[in-house]
């Protein structure tokens, strides 16, 4: 009698364990990902997350920054600054211009947001491509140099030293927008999300316990250079195959060497930089593209926790 009581006790315990395991298994939420996308900053943005709200949060924040930082929007702070040459700006605009100046110094001028007159001269702003004359390039070069941007820290005023100067945040603002969007997600306790914006990516947290897997471009638009596994990291690619024109069998791409005034003409097809934040990855991928393979190693040493892949 005592023996069968023991057995019954064990059977009940086993049953309870079995039920608990079954309950745990069936109560798992389905592994669902939500996808949201929108064209912002002239680029296709895609947000992937197990959280339904992530897309809205990211796209709203990027749209806000697009209104501030776009040279393509007449009323943006950047366009107003470009028209007036001096402007009191928001903390976000001030911050990104300040960081851009730091990258200008760190890259000895290879990264320069005042390259805008040259970008326009070559027709990359209007998409009406044009081969300028030597004189036209020389004239535009006089307006180039981020050392000619004065930052008044006390009241967030940005001032150009020369009339006619223009800035273009095309090589850094998407990365900055990624960081701002990630900050918004974290504030809402959303810790897993993949944000894709043209050549920029931020992988927040993971995908159901495993790092986000992304493919980066290789030598051309159709070739995968490498597959990366990222967690709380950003990857940015700058290449010569997204925006370019060909004239007399020569290819001219949209990334300009601010020291010569000519589109970068190196053997590099694309560069991907991996960093802890989007702004650094974005700026550095453009810098590495301008500087080329050898000088790239030196510049990466200045930025801890960054990695460059050149194709």
CA 240 to mean position of chain CA atoms: 17
**Least separation, in Å, of the C-beta of 74 and ligand FAD?**
11
Run of H or E including 19 = helix 2-26
Q: Which of 196, 282, 290, 306 binds Mg ion (CB under 5 A)?
A: 282
Sketch the per residue contact string, 158 through 187, with Mg ion: x for CB under 5 A, - otherwise: -------------x----------------
Query: Rule CB under 5 A: is residue 272 a binding residue for Mg ion?
Result: no
Contacts 24+ apart (CB under 8 A), 77-82: 78/167, 78/169, 81/158, 81/160, 81/167, 82/116, 82/166, 82/167
Query: Rule CB under 6 A: is residue 256 a binding residue for ligand FAD?
Result: yes
Number of C-beta neighbours around residue 184 at 10 A: 17
Query: Rule CB under 6 A: is residue 258 a binding residue for ligand FAD?
Result: yes
Q: Which does 234 bind (CB under 5 to 8 A by kind): Mg ion, ligand FAD, none?
A: none
- Count of positions (residues) in the chain: 311
Question: Which lies closer to ligand FAD via its Cβ, residue 85 or residue 109?
Answer: 109
C-alpha pair distances (Å), 234 with each of 31, 39, 220, 242, 284:
24, 20, 21, 20, 12
Question: Which lies closer to Mg ion via its Cβ, residue 171 or residue 310?
Answer: 171
Sketch the per residue contact string, 32 through 71, with ligand FAD: x for CB under 6 A, - otherwise: ---------xxx----------------------x--xx-
List, in sequence order, every beta strand (DSSP E) within the chain.
34-40, 43-49, 86-88, 149-152, 157-160, 193-197, 200-204, 212-217, 224-230, 233-239, 244-247, 250-253, 270-275, 307-310
Query: Rule CB under 6 A: is residue 72 a binding residue for ligand FAD?
Result: yes
Q: Which positions lie near ligand FAD, rule CB under 6 A?
A: 41-43, 66, 69-70, 72, 111-113, 115, 119, 124, 168-171, 173-174, 198-199, 238, 242-243, 254-256, 258, 282, 285-286, 290
Residues in contact with Mg ion by CB under 5 A are: 171, 282, 285-286
């Amino acid at each position: 009698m005592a023996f069968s009581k023991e057995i019954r006790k064990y059977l009940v315990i086993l049953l309870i364990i079995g039920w608990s395991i079954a309950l745990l298994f069936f109560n798992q939420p389905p592994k669902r990902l939500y996808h949201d996308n929108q064209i912002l900053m002239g680029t296709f943005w895609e947000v992937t997350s197990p959280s339904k709200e992530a897309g809205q949060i990211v796209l709203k924040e990027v749209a806000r920054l697009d209104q501030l930082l776009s040279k393509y929007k007449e009323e943006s702070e950047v366009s107003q600054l470009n028209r007036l040459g001096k402007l009191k700006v928001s903390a976000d605009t001030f911050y990104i211009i300040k960081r851009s100046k730091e990258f200008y110094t760190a890259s000895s001028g290879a990264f320069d947001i005042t390259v805008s007159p040259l970008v326009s001269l070559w027709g990359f702003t209007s998409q009406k491509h044009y081969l300028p004359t030597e004189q036209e390039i020389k004239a535009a070069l006089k307006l180039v140099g981020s050392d000619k941007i004065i930052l008044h820290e006390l009241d967030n005023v940005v001032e150009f030293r020369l009339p006619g100067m223009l800035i273009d945040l095309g090589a850094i603002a998407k990365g900055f927008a990624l960081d701002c969007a990630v900050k918004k997600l974290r504030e809402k306790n959303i810790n897993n999300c993949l944000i894709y914006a043209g050549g920029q990516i931020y992988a927040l947290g993971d995908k159901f316990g495993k790092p986000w897997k992304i493919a980066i471009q290789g030598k051309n638009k159709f070739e995968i250079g490498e597959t990366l596994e990222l967690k709380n990291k950003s990857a940015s690619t700058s290449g010569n195959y997204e925006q370019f024109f060909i004239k007399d069998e020569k290819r001219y791409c949209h990334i300009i060497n601010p020291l010569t005034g000519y589109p970068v003409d190196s053997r590099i097809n694309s560069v991907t930089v991996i960093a802890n934040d989007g702004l650094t990855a974005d700026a550095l991928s453009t810098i590495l593209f301008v500087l080329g393979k050898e000088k790239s190693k030196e510049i990466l040493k200045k930025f801890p926790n960054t990695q460059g892949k050149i194709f």
